[in-house]
Amino acid sequence: MKKIGLIGGTGPESTLVYYKELNTRINNKLGGIGFPEIAIESLNLHKALDLVAKKEYDELTDYIGAKIQNLENGGADIIALTAATMHVVFDKLKPAVHKPFISIPVAAAEYAVKKGFKKVGLFGTIFTMEQDYLSGAFVANGIEVCTPCKEDRLIVHDHIANELEYGIVKEESLKELISIIQKMKEEQGIEALILGCTELPLALNDNNCPVPCLDIMEIHIQKLVELSTSA
């Protein structure tokens, strides 16, 4: 079994999900006789988000890079970042990482390729929808990524920032999100939707969404389970 090294804390809530799910799923997969070895370097969320906000990407790369170095020195066989946003510096970090470095966007894009999707929508914060750190991996895999129109992007962002981040799912907001997805399906022809923010699965899932959902954290965790337990 390979040791998993995680950069966590950005934020702590999703780190808890990774830790709990990796332990439970790997132990179950091994018939209840083996929890994995996991090392977590949990960052100061405020410091990390501040560096993202100021676009101080060199400093962010140094901050995360030093922690990845700790994970490698401690014997981690697989490295991963537990937050989509931190992938804004994934390519800058990559040259210094000597172990398999498992990207959330790449794992999600490879999953979408397997599912045969050619054109997908992307929901997330304005930052996520307007930067290419998440969509880039899909494009590199030959998948077209559509975002909502400017006005709808603001609506999606607001529902995430002011409701979902606080665990609030309003019925009327959900309807609004679904109608934006429906419009993207009809006008842009999206075949699936990337849930590009950890909180979106609180509201959207395959049962209420007009197209299949790509839950990127779920896909990433599945990938880590598979890699940790493979020979």
**Contacts with a copy of itself, residue ranges (CB under 8 A):** 1, 9, 11-12, 15-16, 19-20, 23-24, 33-47, 67, 70, 73-75
CA distance 68 to 74: 10
Min separation Cβ 82 and a copy of itself, Å: 12
Residue 1 or 113 having the CB closest to a copy of itself: 1
**CB nearer a copy of itself, residue 41 or residue 215:** 41
- CB nearer to a copy of itself: give 173 or 228: 228
Structure tokens at 126: 């304005």
- At residue 151, what is the residue type? E
CA distance 120 to 113: 11
- Of 78 and 134, CB closest to a copy of itself: 78
The H or E element spanning position 183 is: helix 171-183
CA distance 57 to 51: 7
3-state helix, strand, coil in the chain (%, to 5): 55, 15, 30
Cβ contacts of residue 72 below 8 Å, gap of 6+? 5, 79, 97, 98, 99
List, in order, residues 6 or more apart from 103 with CB less than 8 Å away.
80, 81, 87, 90, 137
Q: Is the separation of the CB atoms in 79 and 99 below 8 Å?
A: yes
